[in-house]
Structure 1
């Protein structure tokens, strides 16, 4: 997953650098090479951020809830009780498919944005996690949980 995050940062850095270069072509200072400088700087920062993000990402299936811990600048611990799980998806974007990875997305009852994602799984592991979380949610609430 670390490579995917670095690659996504590279794409963002390239797009940003291109936009700045084009804008500076039409600017009175006319320094389009600054786009390349910004692109390299953004790529380096996003690569460091991806490496740090990968090191602090973890999840754990506990007896009554799913625990996620993540965050580089701000550490976030999310506890999603199985009884609050509404449904579980397995998502595979183009970059994830290219690297043979998948993301399990857990939607919970609650406020806007009440979902958690577990990236960087193999498709088999993501499907197994989806099945396991569904079983745990059903056991926690009854047959209508998921």
Structure 2
């Protein structure tokens, strides 16, 4: 099996879940919005179910393949926490996260989502390039 099949299937499942959430609940599958509504006490059951499904993914993988998915984090905890904080700030400034803008926003031809996704990609490229140069 090639190393691209699992990411391909994962992307297909993510797209399917986003489409089903939109069709069945009329909601955009933006993880930051779902988590924000859950923490704010709004629409508890569907938002909790969505987050539980995200958290159950690695457990389902382990049940199917007998091991947890391979994952390597080479950054220190302070860097990981800083990165998470910056992502949270960017999510607020951009009125959504990569999942909301990049999956459903682009599919709906949202100009704001095209702009946000372009900024996400450009920032990622600059950051990855800078980190490669600095190491």
Q: TM-score if structure 2 supplies the norm length?
A: 0.29
By percentage of residues, which structure has more helix? Answer: 2
By percentage of residues, which structure has more strand? Answer: 1
Q: TM-score if structure 1 supplies the norm length?
A: 0.27
